[in-house]
């Protein structure tokens, strides 16, 4: 079984802000989403109403959240994180920005035949 990250407290909503967040299910899988009201969205996920993924993979835990001021930026950031590999998401959740940078560089270089993308930090 995959290790679980520590739960973070659900931040207070701010008027005019949007949230991009990562949930981790009991089985270790990740779900990335965006919302205007993080507290309400998390409540729905925990009831199995937030998405098919969190319905099928219950016992979700909030492990990462960031706030943005524009909806378009939140949608773009959500899409970006969804494209990331599991090791990159794990580095972000841990706050390990050195590892995140290395994983990004290895991905860029692997496209050119350089470093191995599978290298974990």
* Domains defined along the chain, listed by start: 1-83 (3.40.1440), 85-116 (no CATH)
Contacts of 45 (CB under 8 A, 6+ apart): 23, 31, 51, 54, 60
Q: What is the model's pLDDT at position 34?
A: 97
Q: How far apart are CA 64 and CA 12, in angstroms?
A: 14
* pLDDT tier, 100 (very low <50, low <70, confident <90, very high otherwise): very high
Average predicted confidence (pLDDT) for the chain: 87
Helices (H), 1-121: 38-46, 52-56, 71-83, 86-94, 97-111
* pLDDT tier, 25 (very low <50, low <70, confident <90, very high otherwise): very high
Taking a C-beta distance cutoff of 8 angstroms, is the pair 91, 99 a contact? Answer: yes
pLDDT above 80 for 84: yes
pLDDT above 70 for 61: yes
* Chain centroid, CA 103 distance in Å: 16
């Amino acid at each position: 079984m995959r290790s679980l990250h520590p739960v973070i407290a659900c931040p207070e909503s701010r008027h005019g802000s949007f949230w991009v967040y990562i949930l981790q299910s009991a089985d270790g899988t990740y779900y990335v989403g965006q919302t205007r009201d993080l507290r309400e969205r998390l409540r729905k996920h925990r009831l199995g109403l937030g998405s098919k993924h969190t319905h099928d993979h219950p016992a979700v835990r909030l492990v990462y959240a960031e706030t943005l001021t524009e909806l378009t930026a939140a949608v773009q950031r959500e899409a970006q994180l969804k494209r990331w590999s599991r090791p990159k998401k794990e580095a972000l959740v841990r706050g390990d920005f050195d590892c995140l940078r290395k994983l990004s560089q290895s991905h860029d270089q692997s496209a050119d035949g350089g470093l191995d993308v599978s290298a974990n930090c």
